[in-house]
Amino acid sequence: MATKTVVTEKRYRIGEFATKTGLSGPTLRYYEKEGLVKPHRSDNGLRYYTDADASWIKFLLHLKGTGMTIEQLKQYVAWRAEGDATITKRLQLLKNVRRGFLQEFEELQHSMTILNDKIDWYQGKVDGHISDNEGFANYLASLNHEE
């Protein structure tokens, strides 16, 4: 009789998983304490994570990247655990997050413009294109940005 081979999903212990996700071990434990991720335990009591857990963490980090706080993520995860009944709540939460994010995004673009102008101005001074005593306000006025 041939040996039966059970294909088991890869198990990552916390150290390897930390490397994989770019988080630290303590941060993973912290996220777990906050209920954001639920690793599994091997028979010996050590945590292990799977590739599915990695996808989940990545998704969470993207949400976090859009400005969601840990508290908001906890709310989202709590609703998710409640099942389909909370789908509209989750959708609403994500839409609110997107609204805030878009707003922030516009401000970022404006700041980027200002930063670029300032860099150009300094570059001009360094390269001698801008007279020694032309101020930045002056220079800005010479561009056509609204403020």
**Residue placing its CB nearer to its own copies in the complex, 10 or 122:** 122
Least distance between DNA and beta carbon 123 (Å)? 26
Contact in structure between 89 and 97 (CB atoms under 8 Å)? no
Beta-carbon count within 10 A of 36 CB: 18
Choose the binding region for DNA from 20-28, 50-58, 82-90, 134-142 (rule: CB under 7 A): 20-28
- In angstroms, give the least distance from the CB of 109 to its own copies: 9
Among residue numbers 25 through 64, which ones bind DNA (CB under 7 A)? Answer: 25-27, 29-30, 42, 44-47, 64
27 binds, among DNA, its own copies, none (CB under 5 to 8 A by kind): DNA
* Contact range with DNA by CB under 7 A, out of 13-21, 81-89, 93-101, 135-143: 13-21
Helix (H), strand (E) at residue 5: none
Q: Does 16 bind its own copies (CB under 8 A)?
A: no
Helix (H) or strand (E) holding 81: helix 70-82
**The entry of DNA, its own copies, none that residue 116 binds, CB within 5 to 8 Å by partner kind:** its own copies
> Which own/partner contact pairs does 93-102 have at CB distance under 8 Å and 24+ positions apart?
94/63, 97/63, 97/66, 97/67, 97/68, 97/72, 98/66, 100/67, 101/66, 101/67
Q: Residue 30: name its binding partner from its own copies, DNA, none (Cβ under 5 to 8 Å by kind).
A: DNA
Among 88, 103, 138, 142, binds its own copies (CB under 8 A): 88
DSSP structural state of residue 59: H
Which DSSP helix (H) or strand (E) runs through 23? none
